[in-house]
Structure 1
Amino acid sequence: MPWKAEAGVLLAVALLGAGALGAVQPATGVPTEVVQLTQFGPAAGVLAVALLWPERIRARLAGTVRARRDTAGAGPGRNRADLLLLLTAPLIIALAAGAYALLDGDGDARLTDPRSLAHPFALIVLAQLIGACGEELGWRCYLQPLLRTRFGPLTASAAVGLLWGCWHVQVFAQRPAYAAGFLLGTVAMSVLLGLALEGVRAHRLLLAGGFHTLVNLGMLLTMDEEDGTVLPMALFGGACLLAAVPWVLRARRDGDLEPSVAPGRIPAAPHGAR
């Protein structure tokens, strides 16, 4: 099936491209604290799909930056939903870091002063946003709409989250509990992102990339999971799950959880264009 071929090419190039970019990063002199070049693997996957199927790429990426043509105007709750999505990222960090401080008993030691970083924090923020957008171009702006031509929003979002998590292959070199916490986090974040962006017909990349950036920066400044410590990663996964629940309940209340999908078509915005 064409959609399976598109997804397969995207994932293969995203994985191989990330590996190649990670291998050459030391030679570029770009510090991983500023940005990890592996984040541009999914963007490379989208480029490969665009070269193979140029006639399909415009429909898949509709709404990534500009509004789709089927958008009649912003719904009354759109700006509020966008703000809630971006506020959910610091909520996840607050839940995870707060629980870590309570359970570990030495949470203050994990807080990092942005001024103490080896590079200017403004540079890190900008680079993190660019890197996050490199990922989200593939995950939320291309793969999510692609799977939505076949599945409902919850199924498509969970599948993207699982693939997104497995794409971080280095996680599986850690202990199983660490990898499980990470996968729980990616699936839960993907579900809330997928539901929050359902029907969004403009600026999807900036919204998804902004959320992703806020989470990454929060982890950088408040947690120490990078050394393979299980507790902070498990708490992070749990915080993501808790944060996703209201979005699932909201979608269920509005009847948007599993709307019918016409094969090959990207669904229109429910309850009016957003």
Structure 2
Amino acid sequence: MTAVGGRTSRAVPWAAVIVFVVVACGLAWLVALPLWLGDGLAEPVAGLLLPVMMLTPAAATLVVALVMRVPSRGERARFLGLWPLRPARRVVWLMVAAWLVPPALIALGILVSAALGFVRLDLTFGAFATELRDALPPGTPLPPVEVVVVAQVAMIPIAALVNAVPAFGEELGWRGWLLPALRPCGTWPALILSGAIWGVWHSPVILLGYNFGRTDVSGVLLMTGGCVVWGILLGWLRLRSASVWPAVIAHGSLNAAGGLIVLFAAAKPDLALAGPLGIAGWIVVVAVIAVLVVTGQFRRQPELAPPRAAHPATPSP
């Protein structure tokens, strides 16, 4: 449905939204429970549980779609942005941008971090070489660190596509279901609220020190801020294309390039300041959002399926 004055004519299905959030967040805590009962992120199963946690928004989507029937059966593929891919040219170009632009923004964020003094760069990659050696058994032969760095950077486009597979589990929920469901309250409220929920959903692992190394509410606040600004950008891809696939690819690309700063930092960086979800990342992404706003890109939105619930058929008299 096309937004008129930032709003649509239908109401937000708040009951379904509440159920979605409770299920997504509740399942996330359930999946992370073994980490809380064990050694946190040092648990051997952490590498398995984190991708499983990414599936919980998709599970919440299935609950509201199949049990609460929001949206109704005939509208699901279109409402979730799975199909059709129209206009095809726009969707394809936005998918390409979603694939290539996030790593460029993260690289720009590294330069902003250096300019603001958040991190000192080392183009000899000495700190990364030391970290690499410490992570491997003593005596393990290593190629020159420059070769490793070039290989890591060159693999980002491929890793973005690989990471898009688990990212689909999140995006089907956040930008596939939640953003269109909230859109009747206005484009910007929907973007900000869906991004904030996305950030809070990360709490089970953020409070264990994931991403920022902070195990208190400050880590959750930082993650929420990062998810709001990146969520606006991913949400714009979703609304501008009427498809969830550009957001899926962008999410995978963001995850693939998120560790770039570790390669170039002269010492272990404070990701709250220098990381893609930290202050430097916010500055870069907000600048991009401002350009999109000034050029009217948020006003150009194709029609989306309305969040109607299915109603039982009325028997004929």
> 2:137: which partner in 1?
none
Structural mapping, 1:217-256, within 5 Å:
217-223=256-262, 229-232=271-274, 233-251=278-296, 255-256=299-300
* In structure 1, C-alpha distance between the alignment counterparts of 2:241 and 2:158, rounded to whole Å: 29
> 2:185: which partner in 1?
151
Q: 1:122 to 1:22 in 2, by over 3 A?
A: farther
Aligned partners of 1:139 and 1:160 also within 8 Å: yes
* In structure 1, C-alpha distance between the alignment counterparts of 2:217 and 2:106, rounded to whole Å: 22
Q: Give 1:45 deviation, angstroms.
A: 0.7
Deviations 1:130-153 (A, max 9, x none): 2211110100000011112x1222
Q: Unaligned regions of 5+ residues in structure 2, if any?
A: 1-10, 133-147, 209-213, 309-317
> 2:5: which partner in 1?
none
Q: 1:121 to 1:35 in 2, by over 3 A?
A: farther
Task: Determine if the alignment matches structure 1 residue 14 to structure 2 residue 48.
Answer: no
* In structure 2, C-alpha distance between the alignment counterparts of 1:97 and 1:166, rounded to whole Å: 25
Q: Percent identity?
A: 23
Q: 1:215 to 1:76 in 2, by over 3 A?
A: closer
> 1:84: which partner in 2?
97
Q: Give 1:106 deviation, angstroms.
A: 3.4
Q: Give 1:47 deviation, angstroms.
A: 1.7
Q: Unaligned regions of 5+ residues in structure 1, if any?
A: 266-274
Using structure 2 for the length normalisation, give the TM-score.
0.64
Task: Determine if the alignment matches structure 1 residue 52 to structure 2 residue 67.
Answer: yes
Q: 1:132 to 1:264 in 2, by over 3 A?
A: closer
Q: Give 1:261 deviation, angstroms.
A: 10
> 1:194: which partner in 2?
235
Q: Give 1:184 deviation, angstroms.
A: 2.6
Number of residue pairs matched by the alignment: 253
Aligned partners of 1:61 and 1:141 also within 8 Å: no
Matched letter for residue 80 of structure 1: W
Matched letter for residue 246 of structure 1: V
Q: 1:115 to 1:13 in 2, by over 3 A?
A: farther
Q: Which has the larger radius of gyration?
A: 2
Using structure 1 for the length normalisation, give the TM-score.
0.73
* In structure 2, C-alpha distance between the alignment counterparts of 1:255 and 1:122, rounded to whole Å: 30
> 1:64: which partner in 2?
81
Task: Name the Cα RMSD after superposition.
Answer: 4.1
* In structure 2, C-alpha distance between the alignment counterparts of 1:61 and 1:8, rounded to whole Å: 22
Aligned pair partner of 1:208 in 247, 251, 275: 247
SS in 1 for 2:83: coil
More helix by share: 1
Task: Determine if the alignment matches structure 1 residue 132 to structure 2 residue 167.
Answer: yes
* In structure 2, C-alpha distance between the alignment counterparts of 1:158 and 1:218, rounded to whole Å: 24
Q: Give 1:22 deviation, angstroms.
A: 2.2
Matched letter for residue 47 of structure 2: T
